[in-house]
Structures are given as C-alpha cells and as structure tokens.
Amino acid sequence: MTSRDIIRRSAAAQAAALEAGEVSSEELTRAHLDRIADVDGDLGAFLHVNTDEALTTARDVDSRRAAGEELHGLAGVPIAVKDVVVTEGQPTTAGSKILEGWIPPYDATLVQKLRAAGLPILGKTNMDEFAMGSSTESSAYGPTRNPWDRDRIPGGSGGGSAAAVGAYEAPLAIGTDTGGSIRQPGAVTGTVGVKPTYGSVSRYGLIAMASSLDQAGPVTRTVEDAALLHELIAGHDPHDSTSLPDPVGAYTQAARGKDVKGLRIGVIEELEGEGFAPEVRARFTESLDQLERAGAEIVRVACPNFRYALGAYYLIMPSEASSNLAKFDGMRFGLRVVPEDHPTAENVMKATRGAGFGDEVKRRILLGTYALSAGYYDAYYGSAQKVRTLVQRDFSAAFEQVDVLASPTSPTVAFRLGEKVDDPMAMYMNDIATIPANLAGTPGISVPSGLAEDGLPAGIQFLAPARADERLYRVGGALEALLEDAWGGPLLATAPELTAGATR
C-alpha cells in the first residue's frame, strides 16, 4: 500500500487499516505531512504545520495499540483544525495579524476530546480573518486556493479546512459555521460539511465572532466520516453556558443506514430560483430525483421569511462581532502598536486595531457598532432579532410538514480569486441558503451533488429540526451512496491531480 493510496481512503477506512495492522499511525501521519509539504505551498490550506507533536501522538497511539489497549475508533487518524479554535502550544491567529504569534495556554474542549482520543493534529488551517468572509481571501496570511482549480476560491470562512480535506492533506478537519462557513466551502470543494445543532458541540475555546451563531463541526470526505467525528466532539460541556445536556446521537448508525423510504423532504421555494446558477439547480434536481426513486417523498415548502434572513444576519452578526472583538485592544495579548507621539491607552488601542484588523473586520465592526448605538438599536438590531424569530417560526411550520428541508448549498460554484473582493454585497450573497440555519440554531449538512459549470463541484444542503441531527446523516448517507453508484465512485476522485512541489 503506497502513501498515495492510503491518504485517499476515507477516515473510516484509514481507521480500519490501523486496526488491522496494515499501516501504523506514524506512517499514516507522515504520509499526510509529506502530502502537505508537497502541495500546500501552492494551496495555502495550512497556517501552521504541527509536525513534531503530530508524530509524537502517532507513535504513542502505535505503542498503546501494540500493548493491546482499547482505543477510540479514530485513534491514530490525523486531523486538521481551523485556526479559530485554540490549541495549547500551537499558534492560534484566527487568520488575523492582531493575534500573530499568539500561543494559547489551554485547549478548546473539542481539541481536548481530539487529543484524548489519540488523533494526531496535523496543524491549523487558514481562514477568513475572524471568520469574516465567504472565500478565505480576507485572511491576513494570504488566500487559500481551491484544489479543483487554483485560480478559484475554496469557500469561506473555513476554506483552509475544506481545501485540506479535498486535497488529501488531511482525512478529517474541524471547521466552524456562523453563517455557512462549513457548508459553503464543502459545496465548492466537493467535500462534506456539517453544522451541528447549536449547543451540541462545545464552543469553549472558539474565538468568538458572533456567539449566538457560531458552531463548530466536521469537515470530511464522506458522510460516515462526518458522523464519526461528530460523535467524538459532541456532548455537554460545563464550561459552555450554551451547551446542551443532550446525549450524543447515533450519527454513524444513521449514516450507514442509507434508507430514505418514507422520508419527507421539503424543497424550500425561496432557495431555488433567481440567483442560483442553472447547473447548480440541475444537480440539485437530479439529487432529489435520486432520493425520490429510492422511496423519499418530495414536498414543496414555503418559508416566506427566509428572504429577509440575509439582511437580519448582517445586522445581528456584526453587532455581536463588534462586541466580541472589543477585547483585542493591544493591552492584554496579541499585537501592540505604540505610536511615537502621545502613546496614551486610547492611542495605543487605536493604532493597534488600525494595524491589526483587516478591511472586512473593520467594515463589520463599524456596521455592528452603528446598529447597536443609541437611537438605532431598535430600528436595526432589534428589528433583526424580530426577523430571526420569524425565520425560526418558518422552520417550525415547515417541520410540521416534512422531516428535512433541502436546497442548493451555494448559489454558484467556486468563483475566481479576486472576483468579488471589491463587492461586499456580492460576497455576502454566497451565504443566502446557509444563513437561516444559523439564525434558528438548526443543524445542516452539505453533500456533493455533482459537477456543474467548468467541471466544478456543487453541493446540496439538508436541514433538520434542532436536536434531530441523525436525520441529516440518514438522508446524506443515502444520497451519497446513490450518487457514487451513478458516478462510479466518489466525486473527489475526478478532481485534477495537484502538482507536487508547486509554490504560490
């Protein structure tokens, strides 16, 4: 078995190979580190590669397995972590110059779970600064490129995690989703992305952008892999006041069932028409046809207030972000810029934030501060929260009729680097289908639906009621099996091969 062969297997298959003794965790981890060294100079998926610690973890797992210890099912399978999740002993920058070089003194709860289960952490992945973006172009450390076409974006804000998984640099990755930052990158890179129910995965140790919207989740190449990772990182956390007390669901069992007979799938009328590329809609329709032939019932559902979700989101999210980012003031940690003239606390804060934050972060801080200001709070932030309630009611009404909802994940395939950086509204429109789930706290999954224009991947999104994440894995796993049977294998197998040794 060659390194090329093993890194192209699913995480579940890699775990099985480890258990069978076909490969050691050290060999598996080295194979992925070698892949990163070969292709990431051009791709830009990683901001930090954690070679020594990853290999140490791998050797420890190998020793424990040889000694006959009972290990977690994913023990020894490497993983990448989005750079907005704090990792003790590894840099965590949230893609921003204001945190350049910061080494956290503690682990996020989900990272503690990864370490306890014995998953070697390959490194930290690139992202839009403080998760503010839909293309990973607003990272202070340069953009990430799409493995399918390196002149195109990999989605955002978690383009680094999606690109790493799609380029076989990592079999698993952690992403975060505030308005679609796991699902939209999944759609444009041909990978699987899951936003769990809000509160089902601890947010302790996530650098917050918008606390009522942020949610960590899996980025993988298969639905089964997402279920395995989701089961590992989910669960109640007393450190997180928003953490749900629910037991972890049987996600892997649901993913492996591949049965949709009798499942009612609602097509959201407001998320399939104008603004969605014809070929994206065509792949969406074909996916629904496959599910219908397999026994699912397709129902058209109206969610009239979804048309206002984008506007409400871009008031709520910047408002929370402006508050959360106030801590980055040059006084306690991170970057500090001291002006030569009048180095007062106020001037140090002003100079530090001016130099440390990028344009998109400044734009959202200004918008959020304005929306929260005296005289405008009720007109903007208060009104947006009322719309949020209406969106939640639309979900409740829809789920009285159907088991899951469906839409294209992203209106288009990956656009070209630089195409929308000067048009914020065009950039924000990429999240039109994913934002409602964050406003309502409901779970969502994006699964590859096929190739659209220019031979680039598109995705289909399924949404389920809060706390009903198993439904996503049921329908996602079934569709994945149906489409791979039609395609003759995984969609990613058709992606162009990256050239080793290329640099940007």
**Residue 397 structure tokens:** 């009404």
Single out the catalytic residue among 24, 135, 181, 449: 181
State the amino acid at position 387 in one-letter form. V
| Residue 92: partners with Cβ closer than 8 Å, 6 or more residues away | 83, 84, 85, 86, 99, 102, 103, 104, 124, 207
Phi, psi of 146 (to 5 degrees): -80, 130
Cα distance between residue 436 and residue 434, in whole Å: 6
Residue with structure tokens 């106020």?
A: 346
| Residue 284: partners with Cβ closer than 8 Å, 6 or more residues away | 272, 406, 407, 408, 449, 458, 460
Single out the catalytic residue among 24, 135, 139, 157: 157
CB 310 within 8 A of CB 391: no
User: What burial class does residue 70 get, using C-beta atoms within 10 Å of its C-beta: 0-12 exposed, 13-18 middle, 19+ buried?
Assistant: exposed
Angle at alpha carbon of residue 435, lines to 403 and 321, rounded to 5°: 140
| Active site (annotated) includes residue 181 | yes
CB 177 within 8 A of CB 183: yes
Q: Could you give the 3-state DSSP secondary structure of residue 257?
A: helix
CB 231 within 8 A of CB 252: yes
**Residue 428 structure tokens:** 């924000």
Q: Could you give the 3-state DSSP secondary structure of residue 125?
A: strand
Give how far the C-alpha of residue 199 lies from the chain's centroid of Cα atoms, to the nearest Å.
16
| Active site (annotated) includes residue 157 | yes
CB environment 379-400: b (16+ within 10 A), e (fewer): ebbebbbebbebbbebbeebbe
Helix (H) or strand (E) holding 42: helix 25-43
Closest by CA to 226, choosing from 243, 190, 251, is: 251
| Active site (annotated) includes residue 139 | no
CB 222 within 8 A of CB 480: yes
Single out the catalytic residue among 25, 82, 139, 195: 82
Count of CB atoms situated within 10 Å of the CB of 347 = 15
Strands (E), 419-477: 444-451, 457-463
Angle at alpha carbon of residue 431, lines to 95 and 470, rounded to 5°: 95
- CB-facing half-sphere around the CA of 406: CA atoms within 13 A: 31
Mind telling me the catalytic residues? 82, 157, 181
